[in-house]
Amino acid sequence: MQPVTLSACAENVSALIKQHAQGGQAHVVGLSLGGFVGLKLAQLYPERVRTLWVTGSAPFEGFFKWMAERPAVVWYIMKASLSWLPEGLYWKLGSWKGLIRHDDLYGEMQKNVVWENVQSAYTSILEEMTWEDVKEIRVRTLTVSGGVDDDTPCTKKMGELLPVEGSRAVVVKKAVHSWDLQFPELFAQGILAWIDGRELPEEFEALTPAL
């Protein structure tokens, strides 16, 4: 099994875009680990990325960094919620958060809670997406914080460091981390607005002004 690193994932995504996307470029969207991969992609292969939209993907500080430095703790939490928790309770908790039903994704998440993946992924995020790396992202980027679960201060800091004109940071205050399953229409509207260069929906509250 190959270690899950941001650089390796970015290389694979870059190859897919080069092979399959029109003109060898794509608008890239990522949530959580996917967002970190998108950031690394934009840093290493900016020629493949037309615009970047990420959420829940700011470099770690404070409690989030403490957790990432202890991947065993993260693994136990993920394993408990996805495998050891009764399935009925999982769906009940999801409904309390306002998440739509996601059976296929739930099955894939259960398969992916592998110790080696969790360990290498969190180690890679700590090592490969620092504030200095953010300064090297040469793509117009929107970074979004889900106001309920994500690190909004770090998202704001990230928006202040992104170097490309038009990049910015916003918060959706009522959103949880996986808010694509909570507000899917708003999630999609925000992506389309960013791609088209239009005003973001009013729920996207500015943390930093557009550069």
Nearest to 169 by CA among 195, 194, 132: 194
What domains, with CATH codes, occur in the chain? 6-206 (3.40.50.1820)
**How large is the average pLDDT for residues 116-145?**
97
Confidence of residue 211 (pLDDT cuts 50, 70, 90): low
Confidence of residue 205 (pLDDT cuts 50, 70, 90): very high
Give percent of the chain above pLDDT 90.
Answer: 97
Mean pLDDT over each residue of the chain, to the nearest integer = 96
Rounded CA-CA distance 199/19 in Å is: 32
Phi, psi angle pair for 147, to nearest 5°: -60, -20
Q: Exposed (0-12), middle (13-18) or buried (19+): which is 27, by Cβ within 10 Å? A: middle
Sign of the Cα torsion 83, 85, 87, 92 reads negative
**How large is the average pLDDT for residues 108-130?**
96
Please list, residue by residue across 97-110, b when 16 or more beta carbons sit within 10 angstroms of its beta carbon and e when fewer do: eebeeeeeeeeeee
**How large is the average pLDDT for residues 70-97?**
95
pTM score, whole prediction: 0.96
Confidence of residue 156 (pLDDT cuts 50, 70, 90): very high
Confidence of residue 1 (pLDDT cuts 50, 70, 90): low
pLDDT at 209: 82
Confidence of residue 151 (pLDDT cuts 50, 70, 90): very high
**How large is the average pLDDT for residues 36-43?**
98
**DSSP-assigned beta bridge partners for residue 145:** 171
**How large is the average pLDDT for residues 70-82?**
95
